[in-house]
Each structure stands twice: as C-alpha cells, then as structure tokens.
Homo-oligomer: A and B are copies of this chain.
Amino acid sequence: MAKPKDSGVYLGIDLGGTNVQIGVVTDGGEVLSRAKRKTGAEEGRDAILDRIVDGTNEACESAGVTLDEIGAVGMGAPGPVDPNTGVVLEAVNLRWLDEPIADLLGRKLGKPVFLDNDVNVAVYGEWKQGAGRGARNLMGAWIGTGVGGGLILNGELYYGHYLTAGELGHMILLPDNPPGVRSVEHNCSRTAMCHRVRQLVEAGRDSVVPDLVDGKLNKIKSKTIAEAYSRNDELVIEVVHDAANRLGTMLGGLVTLLSLEKIVLGGGLTEAIGGPWVEQVRGAVHRVAFPAICRNVEVVASLLEDNAGVVGAAFIAIERAGKA
C-alpha cells in the first residue's frame, strides 16, 4: 500500500518476549506495512535492537517510504517503563534492568524513539483508533499468557506516582488464597485456564481437549481453548466462564471505584474466543458495578486486535513528537 499524499508516516514497534511487530502507520491510523522478527531474548540487548533495525528497514521498504520520511518512532516494551526517560526499568522475560532503550534504538535509527509499556501502548491505540475512541475514562484489560491493563483517565494515559499504573494482572483477586494463586493473572490468564483444564482432564473429566492436542496437555493454546469452547466442550466452557466471571467481578469493582465509561478487552485469549468471552465478562461487570448508573459501562472487544500495539506505538510517537 502506498503512502497517502500529505500524510505523515510513523513507525510503531511492539516488542514482546517472543516476537517484535513493526509497522509503518499513517497519522490517520492506517497500517501501511508490517514486519515481524523473533525477539531472541537469549542473544542479549544489542542483538535484539539490531533485529528491530532490520525489521524497520523491511517495514519501510514494504510501505514504499524511506527511514528519512518517518516522523518519529514509538515502541511498547514489556514491564515497567519510564516514558519520560525512555528507560525499560525491568523486563523479566528480556532479562533487562534499567536499559535506556529509547536512546540506544534512537541512535541506531537516527530518529527520536518514544517508549512506553506494551499494554499502555495497545490501550492507547484502541483509544485513539479503535474500540475506545471518544471515551475519557477507560480501562483496557489484555488477556493472554498473562493479564495486563492500561488506564485512560480524564482523557489521558494514566501513569501514577511510580509510572507503573495498570498492573491489573498483579492485583489480588482472592485475598484468602495463598500467594501464587490469588492474583488476577493466576486465575484469569490463558495460562491459568490451560493449567485448570489440564488438572481437570488429568482428574478424569471428559473433554475434547486431549484429542485437539494429540494428548499433549502441555501444548494447550488459546486456539485450543477457543476450538473446544466452540464445540460446546462442557469442561472448557466451565473453566472459561469461571475465569470470565472472576475477571468481570474485578473489573466491575474497578468500574465502581473509577466510574469508568468503557472497558476494552484485548489480548490473544480475547481474540481467540471473541464474542462469548466478552459477553461473559460483560455480564459479571454489569452484575456488580455500583451505583446503578455505572452499569451503563460499555464492555467491548478490541477492534485493532493484533495491530493495537503498532498503531498505539505510532500514535504515542505522533503525540510526543508533536509536543517535543
């Protein structure tokens, strides 16, 4: 797809523990091209950054733009990030601690790089160009391997005192449970659901899951869960609904506390199951939100899906480059 005339183009980078997604995005939100690289965390920081540079070259070429034409670069990285200094404070799966990634990558690309937390970036993308458009008080909940969150409060990304806001997955869901099994992530992530399915199958419960994974119960993925769910597998429906109800109860409590207008659900598990997952979570949110007026909160699925990260990162760059 060619670059639209008179339109600025930006690079959005979505850095994950396994893959890096790189996109050339217009300031109208159009994704002109995408490139993907393995993160390869085990090879260390400089190798990761070199692969990102390689991917940006491919993405620019596919979009028919030169790096010179790129206005600025935005990047989402896992873990707590200081958006002001561009330092990744801690990314366990990348083995990074206090790495000045925006500076390092900016020097390699010869462009300003603006950094933020990966889930913040995806929620920002949905807010600017997706399911969250127009809302002033919104929470994004991303459900996949883990559970992440991001907040738009009073019409801007909310960071909090230590710049770590949004860590939904680490909130305590079941205070009477011992550590390790009481957080939102330990109960509502895809990982938690797979673990529970496996436990129940091994305890003798009937399910289509063993057939779907050729008996390899350590190979259950979001798609496996979604497939079993769509085949009306009783066990998987029970596990998914339990997770949705607990997540929705937590989110409903947060609607009560923060008087939110909208919740956007994203992440691999949300994309895989889709509508029924969103409906279950929505039901639980609406059952517990207080006062009654808060039950008007909208609970919707991500619109950008797998593009939320690159679009959000590009829009972070657009906003901050404009301010800089």
Nearest CB of B to A153, in Å: 6
CB <8 Å contact, A253 and B291: no
Count of this chain's copies in the oligomeric assembly: 2
CB <8 Å contact, B254 and A160: no
A-B CB contact pairs (8 Å), 16 listed: A90-B291, A135-B161, A151-B258, A153-B158, A160-B258, A161-B261, A162-B291, A165-B258, A167-B256, A167-B290, A172-B252, A172-B288, A173-B175, A175-B245, A175-B246, A175-B250
CB <8 Å contact, B171 and A174: no
Q: Does A320 contact B (CB under 8 A)?
A: no
Q: Does A257 contact B (CB under 8 A)?
A: yes
Question: Which of B80, B171, B257 meets A291, CB within 8 Å?
Answer: B80
Question: Which of B162, B171, B249 meets A253, CB within 8 Å?
Answer: B171
Within 8 A of B (CB), among A146-169: 149, 151, 153-154, 158-168
Report B-chain residues with C-beta under 8 Å of the C-beta of A121: none
Q: Does A137 contact B (CB under 8 A)?
A: yes
Whether A167 touches B257, Cβ cut-off 8 Å, given contacts A162-B294, A175-B174, is yes
Question: Which of B176, B252, B258, B259 meets A174, CB within 8 Å?
Answer: B176
CB <8 Å contact, B294 and A257: no
What does the 1/0 interface line of A134-150 toward B look like (CB < 8 Å)?
01110000000000010
CA distance A154 to B137 in the complex (A): 14
Nearest CB of B to A127, in Å: 14
CA distance A11 to B153 in the complex (A): 31
CB <8 Å contact, B245 and A165: no
Q: Does A51 contact B (CB under 8 A)?
A: no
Within 8 A of B (CB), among A97-130: none
Q: Please, which residue of chain B has its CB at the minimum distance from the CB of A80? A: B291
Q: Does A170 contact B (CB under 8 A)?
A: yes
> Given contacts A153-B160, A154-B154, A165-B257, could you give 10 more A-B pairs where the C-beta distance is less than 8 Å?
A151-B257, A158-B258, A162-B293, A163-B259, A164-B291, A165-B259, A167-B290, A171-B257, A172-B250, A172-B253
Q: Does A260 contact B (CB under 8 A)?
A: yes
Report B-chain residues with C-beta under 8 Å of the C-beta of A159: 259
Nearest CB of B to A72, in Å: 25
Nearest CB of B to A177, in Å: 10
CB <8 Å contact, A160 and B260: yes
Within 8 A of B (CB), among A283-302: 288, 290-291, 293-294, 296-297
